[in-house]
Amino acid sequence: MECISPLLAAGSIGDFLRTQRVPFCGCELDSATVLILTAIIHAAFLFAMFGLVPFFFIWLERKVAGRIQDRLGPTRVGGRFGWLQSLADGVKLIQKEDLVPSMADGLLFRMAPYIACVATFGAFMVLPFSDGWSAVASDVGLFVLFAILSIEVVGIILAGYSSGSKWSLFGGMREAAQMVSYEIPLAICGLIPVLAVGSLNLTEIGQVQSGWFLNWLVFNSPFTFLAFWVYFTVSTASCKRAPFDLAEAESELVGGFHTEYSGMRWSFFFMAEYASMFLVSLVASLLFLGGWHTGIAPLDSVLTGLRETAAASPGFHVAGYVANLFGMMVLASKGAMLVFVQIWLRWTLPRLRIDQVMTTCLKYLVPMSCGLFLCQIIWPLVVISAVGRSTLVAWPEEMGGSIGERMGRQSVTRPVETDESAGQPGDDIDESAESSPESLPAVTESQDKVSAGSVRPHSVRTAARD
Amino acid sequence: MDATTILFWIFASISCAAAVAVVATQNVVRMAFWLIVSLGSVAGLYFLLSADFVAATQLLIYVGGTLVLLIFGVMLTATGPYSQIRTSPGEALLAGGVGSLFLAMIITTVVSVDWDSLAAIQQQDPSYASYAHEPGFNPAEEGNTARPLGLKMLGISLEDLGRTDGSLSHGYLLPFEIVSIHLLVVLIGASYLARAKRRSRPDQPS
């Protein structure tokens, strides 16, 4: 118990480690060791997530595929629903021989699965799993996420090229052509909710979607609604999922880019694929579907209140932790639902031809996303001039207000002369959250009017609180 | 030693080693791979400096650009399975000479700057990132490092907020627009050069 209590008293793992002593020599840990240990613990948490997600979704894929094809799917391993099937697969794959073809470029052939895997894993870094629960808080989180995720294709292409096989090379080339073109609508569709919110920070995008579910960005305007469907299509294609899985295309290319792979290296590609499916679904949930908010305003305002108390109090706060854990489960459920739809699509739709895939992207999805982008720029101006509000429908105050009015513009600095007014405690929620040095008084007032306790100002801590 | 310093040395040495490997290998695809590693480590250095935007841009543009170069320059044009590049001794000597001269110039420049006094001057300047001096507020820790850059792109400078004498500094709006016009010109030129040439004699099939 004397081990647990300093852990609960500390605000983060780093703070906890700073209070500890090395078991044998009794000396204190220096800052470098603390930072490295903290980083390892955080990475282990993320890696557990990264490993468990494919574990679950591969089982789900088999089960759903079975049901859609009028089979049972796995039933025996690990009890009734075959829920340990992925573990059995993993054990089987570890035992297999790690083959490298004689024609292959050994170094690149061995490196390629790790590149695909690490890129997907790295993109989880900037993703907020709940309010403020991100490993790396970044002002340009969405941009960083897409940038890191775009490295995955390097692994696929290197795998295709270095295998020394024609099937693999064709798979790699198709993947290259597909990714280079599908990244454009993916990025543009990701920018449409960013236009509605005015921030690339994923935590802020999640925060503005509190209140009832009509405040979710997918219902913000007709264009965000359409953009959600375009984004979902494009993200399915960017994970090279059927009907866009031309890179593997078993009926034409044997196994596509992973024809020559066996054992664990082969399974790394699939871990990367399932993790990136989950990742793009989580991003879709954050951008369009309210993030960690349940969509029920009274429940959300209670949870937000708990988080605010936790952010204001020093040390570990159990209620805030539980609220964040609940938010993470909500976000993960939304992501899992979208992954389920992706799996459903895979076993329902036939695979397109490569020319159809490219036509879909370049002739339909790119112009559509560009048009939606332009319309989303013009939309607020038209609505404001027509009805005098920032949204078409005026949500009643008890429903949390409409999203445009609730958005406090985040200012960049606190002016020097307002120090004394900002120092008064407890005049509003903005000031009670300790670390909001960026809000101007004018902004604070406008937030006061509409927040009604359910909205948290954006400038409150976005750094990781473990 | 600080943890940041350790990470800096890790990233810097990976970056330099991969850069040497780019020159030392002869297989073109391996060169591209080492180039990606080197550029990725530079992006890691940017992340270490809390320059998220520059780091993400580095990943997106340079790693993506290297990839397109790899696809179109190697995969679509290669005649054999693994194309090799062999340099003659004369070329290697010339490139080595120019490279070491450039390295010497960079090292001389870096060593000749008195970094400690520069940091002290920056600390004393009241206009220098006034928001960063707020007690308990660390923009890098909170991830709020790209917003000043974005405002500069719009022509708004944060340093002006701390000033009282009414003088204004400049944003990056004009260079930003010039670059975009430049890119537009390049795009038009590229499509002009790559357009389908009109047949000189349409009556004869060529």
| pLDDT band (50, 70, 90) for residue A456 | very low
B203 and A CB contact within 8 Å: no
Pair of tokens at residue B127:
């206009």
- The pLDDT tens digits of the residues spanning B19-28 come to 989 888 887 7
Residue B15 pLDDT > 90, yes or no?
A: yes
Q: Which residue has the higher pLDDT, A390 or A254?
A: A254
CA A14, chain centre distance (Å): 24
Q: Which residue of B has its CA nearest to A154?
A: B67
Structure confidence at residue A447 (pLDDT) = 39
Place of tokens 């489960």: A329
Closest Cα in chain B to A184: B60
Banded model confidence at residue B102, pLDDT cuts 50, 70, 90 = very high
Of A139, A161, A437, the CB nearest to B134: A437
At A295-337, the pLDDT tens digits run 777 777 777 777 777 766 666 667 777 788 888 888 989 999 9
Cβ–Cβ pairs < 8 A, chains A and B: 120
Q: Residue B18's pLDDT is what?
A: 92
Indicate yes or no: CB of A414 within 8 angstroms of CB of B134. Answer: yes
Question: If phi over 0 gives left and psi between -120 and 50 gives alpha, with beta otherwise, what is residue B143?
Answer: left
Q: Which residue has the higher pLDDT, A17 or B119?
A: B119
Can you tell me the distance from the alpha carbon of A282 to that of A339, in angstroms, rounded to the nearest whole number?
A: 9
Q: What is the mean pLDDT of residues A50-68?
A: 84
Tell me, what amino acid is at B146? Answer: A
Nearest CA in chain B to A143: B56
Check residue A320 and give its pLDDT.
Answer: 74
Residue A198's closest CA among A131, A285, A139? A139
pLDDT in tens, A391-441: 666 665 555 555 545 443 333 333 333 344 433 443 343 333 333 344 334
pLDDT tens profile A237-250: 888 887 887 777 77
Instruction: Using a CB–CB cutoff of 8 Å, tell me whether B146 touches chain A.
Output: yes
- Tens of pLDDT, residues A81-133: 777 888 888 888 888 888 888 877 778 888 888 888 888 888 888 888 887 77
What confidence score (pLDDT) does residue A182 get?
86
HEC string of chain A? Answer: CCCHHHHHHCCCHHHHHHHCECCCCCCECCHHHHHHHHHHHHHHHHHHHHHHHHHHHHHHHHHHHHHHCCCCCCCCCCCCCCCCHHHHHHHHHHHCCCCCCCCCCHHHHHHHHHHHHHHHHHHHHHCCCCCCCCCCCCCCHHHHHHHHHCCHHHHHHHHHHHCCCHHHHHHHHHHHHHHHHHHHHHHHHHHHHHHHHCCCCHHHHHHCCCCCHHHCHHHCCHHHHHHHHHHHHHHHHHCCCCCCCCCCCHHHHCCHHHCCCCHHHHHHHHHHHHHHHHHHHHHHHHHCCCCCCCCCHHHHHHHHHHHHHHHHCCCCCHHHHHHHHHHHHHHHHHHHHHHHHHHHHHCCCCCCCHHHHHHHHHHHHHHHHHHHHHHHHHHHHHHHHHHCCCCCCCCCHHHCCCHHHHCCCCCCCCCHHHHHHHHCCCCCHHHHCCCCCCCCHHHHHHHHHHHCCCCCCCCCCCCCCC
Name the nearest CA neighbour of B160 among B150, B170, B172: B170
Counting every residue written for chain B, the total comes to 206
| Domains of chain B in sequence order | 3-112 (1.20.120.1200)
* For chain A, percent of residues with pLDDT exceeding 70: 75
Task: Map tokens 């900002």 to a residue.
Answer: A422
Q: Which residues contact B25 (CB under 8 A, 6 or more apart)?
A: B31, B34
Mutate which of A138, A146, A152, A200 to test chain B, going by most B C-beta atoms within 10 A? Answer: A138
- Rounded to an integer, the average pLDDT of A73-83 is 78
How far is it, in rounded angstroms, from Cα A222 to Cα A436? 34
| Chain B residues 120-139 within an 8 A CB cutoff of chain A | 130-131, 134, 136-137
Nearest CA of chain B to the CA of A384: how many Å?
23
Chain B partners within 8 Å of A144 (Cβ)? 52, 55-56
Nearest to A270 by CA among A84, A262, A173: A262
Higher pLDDT, B72 or B130: B72
Closest approach of A54 to chain B, Cα-based (Å): 26
Structure ipTM: 0.77
CB contact under 8 A, A35 and B3: yes
CA A247 from chain centre, in angstroms, equals 24
CB–CB contact A161 B27 (8 Å): no
Q: Which amino acid is at B56?
A: A
* Residue B80 touches partner A, C-beta closer than 8 Å: no
Contacts (Cβ under 8 Å, ≥6 apart) of B10: none
Cβ contacts of B81 on chain A, cutoff 8 Å: 103, 164
- The share of chain B scoring above pLDDT 70, in percent, equals 70
Q: How far is CA A462 from CA A167, A290, A466, in A?
A: 47, 17, 12
What is the rounded distance in angstroms from the CA atom of residue A72 to the CA atom of residue A62? 9
Residue of B nearest to A141 (CA): B52
Model confidence at B113: pLDDT above 70: yes
Inter-chain residue contact B33 with A108, CB threshold 8 Å: yes
Cβ B58 vs Cβ B42: under 8 Å: yes
The residue to which tokens 């006034």 are assigned = B130
- Paired residues of B84 in beta bridges: B27
Structure-block tokens of residue B186: 């390049």
- CA A442 to each of CA A446, A447, B137: distance values in angstroms, whole numbers, following the listed order: 6, 9, 21
